[in-house]
Structure 1
């Protein structure tokens, strides 16, 4: 609930600190005293647009701070705070602050932590409901009617949301699979042609490197072929150098025993023959390794060209061609087996759709019956509020399938007819300002056990009525606020009716005073004596009479 409101330099308010409590609090004062300034200030701290015109004349800026006390934060507020990653300790008051500069700039804070104004607007509906003469939010806004009816009915909103997500998830998977199969089928002929080409080419991983190395060796062999041939000629044949060495070694071998130098010469010559033989062997192996075959070189170069052309065509490296072939086979297999997979996905989507439809049908019936109960409950409140001729109807309309959603298949709207025989229409389009406020009060009373904002404010709900109707309004406001002894609620009413003011648990008086050219608005919490005097003023006008004071006593004693 709203526990404290502090205002600095807002229009006619220089400095104001107000403490609030549970129950019904009433705010009274003469016309033009500044009641709307309080609501504008509260709206500012709840995220309304920053208007530099709110800054008190001559001041650089203004500020509004609102404190809320909760035993446990409302789920909507807790979720928004968690999403914003703010640190709020359990049981800690929720303190909203808005600073406004004279040039129109503003800053927002939540428990002294800077936040965006959008966060204040997001949590505002769970904190404060304001119902005024021309209010287009809260119960008047049809977008919130379905949620209100669901709370009244005790609907399993979480269940229908989960069923909707399951259905949409299954349908999304099915749609994606269908699109994939359709795209693959369009490319099936091209894939088959590409795969046939690659199968004929039969690329192997590492093949490019091997072919390139072989081509390099053969190209070297081509360059060295003349030199190798000349060298092989020197080492082969009966007239080669190696043959001469061997002949010399044989001849020397016959006479080596004649002198030790001849033996040494033979040993040296044998070593030369051995080295020359090794050289001959290596030349033969080199010639074999570097052998140049024009036909083989042409085959290798053609193979390399084909492999590299295929790689360019498919946008990959040559070594990746086998993987591309595997991908193509996988896609083609998916095309061939895609229909069987689609059948399974279609069955899953159908099951999810059926589960959702069953939940939505049950929810529709629950809403329809709850709507009837709500209509009866609201109807019981209309006559005492001088709305005897009016009728209330909760419209629950089944939507076409394309408009179903996470909240079911229904559109819900509160409708009224203010005159006998008149058609039902939305609240805001039919009711006048006073009627609209009383309709909202009747709805709030009927929905009192179903939750809502922590603090509810009615702005001049009693305008244009008096006597028994004003008393009925006051009684219902008090009941709605919990002043009937049950406690727990908080409701503030800006009122001109003494019958409503007498029902308040706390009474605040708004007054305007002037000192020279300076005008100020102040708000004071009245004690019992001042409260009687204020209600007497409301009864009699400018001059408070003894009769008015006596009537004020009777009103207060009759509460």
Structure 2
């Protein structure tokens, strides 16, 4: 609920403080007195997009402060929490504007973006007027309004969830089909490559082992001669024989050497052991050099095949085994792709069936809600002197979407036998005002805490019709807050709180002033609205009668 509005240096307002109250608040005044400026200023602090030249001429900046009281559970609390702002019972919005158009906003003394202001404004204020094409007159909003009227939030949520699952299932199916098509395009390559790799069966580390064996065999002929000579040098005709002779000669004299040859004999024994190990190593290597000449050719063929296949697939030879495993996996997925597609298609079909059922249930509930809304509108139009008008909620099929498969449009026929059409195409100015008011009364529901503003919604009506409009506005304000900018004395007389907007010239400057009216001043203002510039006593008596109800 809007408690205070403080405006400084905006257009023709230098300083203005307004304290609004619960119930029906009316603002009256001559045309051009500045009533629309109040709405411009309120829209500015709420982040609405509007005119840019708001700063009063000669001022450094314009400023608007709006204070709202938030009831427990007010939807603005959720907006504040989501935006990371402290949640309190009092909400103070402040926004300044420079002549260059730079805007800065605060929410409870913390800097805020225009996006946050607009999100808050959707929960705080609702503006209605004859040019209200963003709200009740916007056919794109009618479906949501009907859902709100019918309390269909659970069905809408179920339909949105089913739509999300349907889309996710379709995306999964389309992605799998695209992958399968991609793999099918390279099926011949996959099958050939896997067969080729399986035939070769490369192993990690195989290239290094083959390369070492190849180089060994390539140098075997020369090494074999040297190894044979080394074996001979170590054998009986060489070192082994000489060392054996030396040991026999030393053994023959050792008993007469008084131990002087013991160390030499021990060393010789150790040398003979080491010599034996050397001979064994040489013999083993000599055996390794004895290979089938065809083995070299086979080793080279295998090595070149590995390296050639690695170049073909642009990988290292040691990576061929991993490549083979990857290609076999892709081929297995290709072979099993038809089964995967069938499973995903079944899932998508089931999700589509779930969505269709949810959309049909929502459609049925909407049609029931539409009948109730049409009946409620008929009941509201009668006291507004439009008992012959017909309000209808029209359905058309729409492409499936998250909110179902319905297009909903509010239409009216103002006279019996006349064709029905959209609200803003069929109704005249006065009729449109009453249609909008009736529709708002029906759709208000439990909009607790929402300040509703009606900008000259009573334009084009008078007499008993204007009185009926005023009474519906008064009823709408019960338990809440309604602000009405009006030129109708019948509407003004029904307000619980009354302000007069007037222009005056001070020191050569034109300024707008807003004055709260007491009982006596209200009589004079309503009399002015009845009689014009010259207020007679008869007009005052008529005003007193209106104010008395």
TM superposition score normalised by structure 1: 0.88
Partner of 1:512: 503
1:300-355 superposed Cα distances (whole Å, 9 cap, x missing partner): 55544443444454455544443433333333333333333333333332222222
Partner of 1:337: 336
Partner of 2:246: 248
Specify whether residues 390 and 153 from structure 1 end up closer, same or farther in structure 2 by C-alpha distance, changes over 3 A only: same
Structure 1 residue 146 corresponds to structure 2 residue 143:
yes
Partner of 1:194: 193
Structure 1 residue 394 corresponds to structure 2 residue 385:
no
Partner of 1:44: 44
The alignment yields a C-alpha RMSD, in angstroms, of 3.0
Partner of 1:551: 542
Q: Contact conserved, 2:466 with 2:491, CA < 8 A, in 1?
A: yes
SS in 1 for 2:404: coil
CA distance in 1, matches of 2:167, 2:274: 85
The CA deviation at 1:450 is 5.6
CA distance in 1, matches of 2:5, 2:308: 78
CA distance in 2, matches of 1:428, 1:334: 59
Question: Which moves more between the two structures, 10-19 or 225-234?
Answer: 225-234
Structure 1 residue 178 corresponds to structure 2 residue 177:
yes
Structure 1 residue 458 corresponds to structure 2 residue 454:
yes
Specify whether residues 297 and 502 from structure 1 end up closer, same or farther in structure 2 by C-alpha distance, changes over 3 A only: farther
Partner of 2:23: 23
The CA deviation at 1:513 is 1.6
Which one of 381, 401, 407 corresponds to residue 405 of structure 1? 401
The CA deviation at 1:37 is 0.6
The CA deviation at 1:287 is 5.7
Q: Contact conserved, 1:7 with 1:16, CA < 8 A, in 2?
A: yes
Partner of 2:516: 525
Partner of 1:448: 444
* 1:209-288 alignment runs, 5 A limit: 210-211=209-210, 228=227, 230-236=229-235, 238=237, 240-260=238-258, 266=265, 269-285=268-284
Question: Which moves more between the two structures, 285-294 or 226-235?
Answer: 285-294
Specify whether residues 518 and 254 from structure 1 end up closer, same or farther in structure 2 by C-alpha distance, changes over 3 A only: same
CA distance in 1, matches of 2:254, 2:183: 89
CA distance in 1, matches of 2:177, 2:117: 44
CA distance in 1, matches of 2:189, 2:56: 76
CA distance in 1, matches of 2:411, 2:483: 26
Partner of 1:494: 485
The CA deviation at 1:531 is 1.7
The CA deviation at 1:168 is 2.3
TM superposition score normalised by structure 2: 0.89
CA distance in 1, matches of 2:103, 2:126: 23
CA distance in 2, matches of 1:442, 1:512: 33
Aligned length: 546
